[in-house]
Structure 1
Amino acid sequence: MSFLDKIHACNVWDPADFVPLLLGGERIGSLRQSAMDHLRRWPRYFRVETHCVQTHCVEWIDPPTDFDARSAVLAEVVGCLVEEGVLTHLHGELYPVTAGNRDQARCLVDRACAPFFGMRAFGQHLNGFVRTPTGIEMWIGRRSADRRLYPRRLDHLVAGGLPYGLSLIENLRKECQEEAGMSPQLADQAVPVGALTYCRDSDRGLKPDVIYCYDLEVPEDFQPRCHDGEVETFYRMPVEEVRDLVRDSDEFKLNCNLVIIDFLIRHGLILQTDPDYLEIIRGLRAPLP
């Protein structure tokens, strides 16, 4: 195994397996054949454009001009698909539907349904660490056994989705409190260190995702406490041990590997002399459709 293996695992998809979902000429999603076939059932909303036998795109036709009305159309479609078992559940958080940034949202969709449409999703991950006389140690969480995705896999001290209507700092404060029992004052000391992108074909559809990343040096006596039930226990590990787990195992939730690799680069724990160094850096910011 290698760091590149972890990057490639987050970027496995074949563009030929997906067709664009367009709204007003913008690509707001990418649909599998099966998802496209389901949308054919709503011809008043979606038109499948074909040339010969090849599908070129699915276009949202005559969309409402109002933001809330467009969101209501998607909610209607999603509600039917959940009732029929095509989609397994609703998450209850709304994500922006956008071809670009969060502030360019055209409407909203339930978080759990974004991969079905291949819509862009946003999240925040925080590297919590302590400086000790022997080096850096990182706080790592183990996800609860009842988590729908990646049960009992290792995770960041704080990581979560970024719903519509909350600013970056507001959501980070919320996640820090819920997942680690952190005060707003401590959460506000987190340092924004960039953003990572990846695009992966998953069981639920395409995930063209954006992760906003943060570093937070916590006090020596800090002890995280999870309040939302998502984490069953926390560990404080030497960063070298974390590095080896990322490189040599599948212990971590898949996208956490990318954020930790970025941390390792910035803290000099993946050297510029590494033969994969440039490819690793490029791979952390994959182009999104």
Structure 2
Amino acid sequence: MGLYDKILACNRWDPEDFVPWLLDGVRIGTLRHAAARALTRWPRWFRVEPQAVHWVNAPRDFAARSALLAEVVETLVAQGEIPYAHGELYPVTPNGRERACCVLDRAAGPFFGIRAFGQHLNGFVRTAHGLEMWVGRRAADRRLYPNRLDNLVGGGLPHGLGLRENLRKECAEEAGMAAALADLAVPVGAVSYCRDSERGLKPDVMYCYDLELPEDFVPRCTDGEVQAFYRMPVDEVVEIVRDSDEFKLNCNLVVIDFLIRHGLIAPDEPDYLALIQGLRSPLPC
């Protein structure tokens, strides 16, 4: 195992297994061939071709488009094409969140291969012995990656919530953090990756934040998503990322980005340039 293996693990997908989902000629998603076939049930709305799926006769109104997709998703969930509905709405966009053409249930995101956005926060402490990082262990009842290590704070970015508002919410829920402390988090860029998952394609963007914490801060989960927290020397975190699969897949990328920016992964690291480039993988939509 190695650090670059973690980049590769988040970027495994074969474009031949998918077709673009287009609205007015613009790619807004990426569908597996099986997902494309499932949409043939709605010939009025989806023209399924060998090389693309076109959303035809789409309402011009944001709310009407969203309502139409909600009906489609409800049927797909009932028929087992999508495992469940999450109840949280994500933007459907060809680029940034601000260019959303409608919204879609979060759990349906991979089925349609839409670009999903999240926020991840690295919480760290400066000690006499060097930097230490807070990491969490996900609860055993999580649908995805139960019992795996996670960033101190990490979560999806729903439509309609601003970046600061959502980060405050996630910090409070996952780490018991006051808004005044959460507001000290420094935005440090974004990480992107594209992965073929069991549920479909995940072309994801994670906005990253660093937060230097006081030595007496102890996180406290309030929503049940985290079962334990650990404060670790960064050298130990590097070993875990490099030599194990303990971390949730995409959290590895957030940690690697932190380590590079803080000079803890140096230019003489094998695959150093590939690591930097791989953290910002191009997305199909």
Poorly superposed stretches of 4+, deviation over 2 Å = none
Aligned counterparts, 1:115-264, within 5 A: 115-264=110-259
Counterpart in the other structure of 2:31: 31
| 1:62 shift after superposition | 1.1
Question: Aligned letter for 1:24?
Answer: D
SS of equivalent to 2:104: strand
Q: Which residue of 1 aligns with 2:6?
A: 6
Distance 2:151 2:176 in 1: 14
What's the offset of the Cα at 1:73? 0.8
Partner of 1:43: 43
Q: Please give the secondary structure, in 2, of the residue aligned with 1:88.
A: coil
Q: Deviations along 1:257-285, whole A, 9 cap, x unmatched? A: 00000001011111111231101100000
TM-score, normalization by structure 1 = 0.98
> Given the two structures, how large is their TM-score scaled by the length of structure 2?
0.99
Kept after mapping to 1: 8 A contact 2:135/2:229: yes
In 2, Cα distance between equivalents of 1:274 and 1:202: 29
- Taking the aligned partners of 1:91 and 1:157, their CA distance within structure 2 comes to 23
Q: Deviations over 1:28-54 (max 9, x none)?
A: 1111111001000100100013xxxxx
> What is the deviation of 1:24?
1.1
Residues 3-48 of structure 1 show CA distances to partners (whole Å, capped at 9, x for unaligned) of 1100000000001110000011110111111100100010010001
Q: How many residues align?
A: 284
Alignment correspondent of 2:67: 72
Q: Distance in 2 between matches of 1:24 and 1:175?
A: 35
Uncovered stretches (5+) of structure 2, i.e. residues with no partner: none
CA RMSD of aligned residues (A): 0.6
Q: Following the alignment from structure 1 to structure 2, what is the Cα–Cα distance between the partners of residues 88 and 201?
A: 16
In the other structure, the counterpart of 2:81 is 86
> For 1:166 and 1:124, how far apart are their aligned partners in 2?
12
2-side partners of 1:274 and 1:85: how far apart?
Answer: 45
